[in-house]
Amino acid sequence: MRITKIVLVVLAVIVISAVGFVYLAPENAVRLLINMQRAQAGLDRKEVQLAGGLHYVYLEGGKGEPLMLLHGFGANKDNFTPVARYLTTRYRVIIPDHIGFGESAHPVDADYSPPEQAKRLRAFANALGVTSLHIGGNSMGGHIAMTYAALYPEDVKSLWLLDPGGVWSAPKSVAMITYDMTEQNPLLIRKEEDIMTLLQLAMSNPPYIPRPIRNVEARQRIKNYTLEQRIFKEMVADSVEQRINGLTTPALIVWGSEDRLLNVETSKILNRLMPRSQVIVMQHIGHLPMIENPKQSAQDYLNFRATLFP
Catalytic residues: 71, 139, 265, 287
199 residue type, one letter: L
d(CA 265, CA 269): 7
Query: Closest Cα partner for 117 from 158, 145, 89?
Result: 145
Cross-strand pairs, 136? 69, 160
d(CA 149, CA 144): 9
Contact 137, 143 (CB under 8 A): yes
Phi, psi at 66, each rounded to 5°: -65, 135
DSSP for residue 209: -
Contact 308, 158 (CB under 8 A): yes
- Sheet harboring 55-61: ordered strands across? 44-49, 55-61, 92-96, 66-70, 133-138, 156-162, 251-256, 277-282
Residue 193's CB is within 10 A of a number of other CB atoms, namely 12
What residues contact 173, with CB distance under 8 A and at least 6 apart? 259, 260, 261, 262, 263
